[in-house]
Amino acid sequence: MNSSSTPCAPDQLHGIHQAVIQWFSRAGRDLPWREPACSPWGVLVSEIMLQQTPVVRVLPIWREWLDRWPTPADLAAASPADVVRAWGRLGYPRRALRLRAAATEIADHHDNQVPENHSELLALPGIGSYTAAAVAVFAFGQRYTVVDTNIRRVHARLFSGKALPSKTLTAAETRLADQLMPEDIAESVKWNQSVMELGALVCTARSPKCDECPVFDECAWIAAGRPEPDYVPKGQSWHGTDRQVRGAIMAVLRHSPSPVSVDLLLTDRAGAEQLASRIENPGQETADMLEKLWALPAPLEQRERALGGLLKDGLATRHGDEASLPS
């Protein structure tokens, strides 16, 4: 295998394409957004939800959303509060509001149909280059290069002999992905889907299952003796971060049937005891969420910063001394 940044010989590359695609036909997961009957809207929703979120967490929420809002117009008509509540604990809830903004644009300017044109997809609110390409490929069967973390990792090992791709997407990686794409449109769609799945299930970051890989014998990383990565990948921290505090505040607002006193959101458990008279039968779920928020070892400054970030992002609104989900 050629371990440089350029693809291998055409015949060899074609063999790799076929091996990975055939593996996918046997081992690929049966996911609802891959079904032929899935609408382009369903594919778009899945792509937004799957950003930095595991499939197992997305599946139930995706099904609930498509049942509740089967078309862009349905979601556009929903209130921001309902949308954020339905997003649940998928994380990065700004995605929910961006998806609603995209749905509004589709309903108002594209006759309630997700546009097929790549440039029109890219022009939708909150839709970046990856998502536009993924929807064009997986919803409409077009030939575009899709490059996510899983695909980058397979490319790095299989063709470049590296344990991991660069920390951030480089122009060289993009060129390599373009060069590796089959010319045939149908085959290019299958290749995008198959190599992504290979990275998700087999060629994983920390414990690759090389003995299950359909292109083990072609892998430049294996041929090079499995060299160590140039850096140690670090997962995103959570405990003690502003993200954790933001998530705890959002959980309170999602579960509360009425606006919540800002003082209650900003205090800790000791302070909450002094504010007990301010709590008027919030309901068990809201009370449980408040307890979790108060238990966080977060100083007042961090709590204020987290709430301020939610207000700035449009995920919460404040009316005087109370806060709630956006109306």
Q: Catalytic residue positions?
A: 47
Q: Is 283 helix (H, G, I), strand (E, B) or coil?
A: coil
**231 CB-side CA count, 13 A:** 8
The 8-class DSSP code of residue 117 comes to S
CA 116 from centroid of its chain's CA atoms? 21
H-only helix segments in the chain:
10-27, 40-49, 55-68, 72-76, 80-87, 94-109, 118-122, 129-138, 149-160, 171-180, 185-201, 220-223, 242-255, 262-266, 269-274, 284-295, 300-312
**58, 40 contact by CB (below 8 A):** no
Give the strand order in the sheet containing 317-319. Answer: 260-261, 322-324, 317-319
Q: Is 319 helix (H, G, I), strand (E, B) or coil?
A: strand
